Structure 1
Amino acid sequence: METKTKSKVYPLAMTAVMAAVTCVLGPMSIPIGPVPISFTNLAIYISLYLLGWKRGTLSYLVYMLIGMVGMPVFSNYSGGMGKLFGPTGGYIIGFIPMAIIAGIVIDKSRNRGIQLAGMIVGTALCYAFGTAWFCFQAGYAVGAALGLCVFPFIPGDLAKMVIAMVIGPMIRSRLEQAGLHPAH
């Protein structure tokens, strides 16, 4: 009986915990132009390692809903629907397919190269959503938007992927060793 309860409670609790971690990391951003460097994607990548693609994506959706109702959890401690419909809102939406694609690849493969490729493809899709919305909202040409909103972020996002590839499995392993992860 205790195992059944534990196996149901853990995923719910960890989904909430990772949404909270995203709420803490998401607002921490470095303004470098119209799109700030955010740690939201790092939180998502780590969530995918700890929770799998479904619950990892769900934890991000919880975070997004918290921000949509006005809590200051988006970059630069902002929140509300205005942020979602503003020039950078496409990136907020783009994190959803990023989480799904990267998460499915992380779930299906233990090969680090393939996991990295999945995160790169998911992030590229996020860039596409975000850049398209930015062009629409801010009136930029695609080339100019890529120069402002994508190219400066590639090195940092690759670094966040590598950090998640190291930290995510390490945390998961420690949770399993402690008997706190349902895989145990």
Structure 2
Amino acid sequence: MSSAALPAPVTAGRVLADLLPGSRARDVALVATGALGMAVMAQVAVPVPGSPVPITGQTLGLVVVAAALGPVRAVAVMGAYIAAALVGLPFYSEASGGFEAVVGATGGYVVGFVPAAYLVGLAARHGADRRVLRALPLFVAGQLVVFAVGVPWLALTTGMGATQAVAAGFTPFLLGGAVKALLAAGLLPGVWALVRALGRGREDA
């Protein structure tokens, strides 16, 4: 059955969050839950020898949140996440927070979450998260946006040269980034497959 024959909630132009009932209250709850989820994923942290940047679950959380919520809500999540850390809540890795955490060596990566969330969410609204072969490059690209902001920020805040910043803030994360993209590219299309199956079940009932 083609997607055009499916019920309205799963037609093009929607993300997973749009399938939930409600509007403003729903969106507020989703943004708050997304920010808390990012804080939890930040605590999944593995130090990288010679680098101030740990490997965390944040970029996995980023691409999942962005694809599930869409561009506007996802950007709101990242803004709320940064604001919560800025006022001192322990939302960053190793339960850190405060002004120094936000503007310090790793702060650029989190700032990079904002454009990455928008781009991944926008692509998801156009259906790019519904098939593995489209979702995988999307989620890789989303993480690359984060590094495009984070690595220069790392160089500026630490005085590293470009080569040092890439070695400390990009290269060690390539394998983990690929694994996270694979996980997300399995999860999101899997949820959409379930939605389609439920939609067919309702039509056949």
Give the TM bin, normalised by the shorter chain.
Answer: 0.7 to 0.9
Contact 1:48 1:99 survives alignment (8 Å): yes
Superimposed CA distance per residue, residues 90-134 of structure 1 (whole angstroms, 9 cap, x where no aligned partner): 111111111111222222123433332232223222112111111
Superimposed CA distance per residue, residues 9-60 of structure 1 (whole angstroms, 9 cap, x where no aligned partner): 3332222212211121113211113110011111111112321122122112
The structure 2 residue matched to 1:92, chosen from 102, 106, 110, is: 110
Contact 1:27 1:78 survives alignment (8 Å): no
State how far apart, in whole Å, the 1-side matches of 2:175 and 2:114 are. Answer: 21
The structure 1 residue matched to 2:47, chosen from 28, 31, 43, is: 31
The structure 1 residue matched to 2:150, chosen from 130, 145, 152, is: 130
* Residue 83 of structure 2 corresponds to residue 78 of structure 1: no
Letter paired with 1:10: R
State how far apart, in whole Å, the 2-side matches of 1:27 and 1:172 are. Answer: 28
Letter paired with 2:84: I
Residue aligning to 2:22: 7
Residue aligning to 1:52: 70
State how far apart, in whole Å, the 1-side matches of 2:194 and 2:95 are. Answer: 32
* Residue 167 of structure 2 corresponds to residue 147 of structure 1: yes
Larger Rg: 2
Secondary structure in 2 matching 1:7: coil
Residue aligning to 1:181: none
Distance 1:121 1:49, change over 3 A: closer
Identity across the alignment (%): 26
Number of residue pairs matched by the alignment = 174
**What stretches of structure 2 of length at least 5 have no aligned partner?**
1-20, 199-205
State how far apart, in whole Å, the 1-side matches of 2:190 and 2:26 are. Answer: 18
Residue aligning to 1:182: none
Letter paired with 2:78: Y
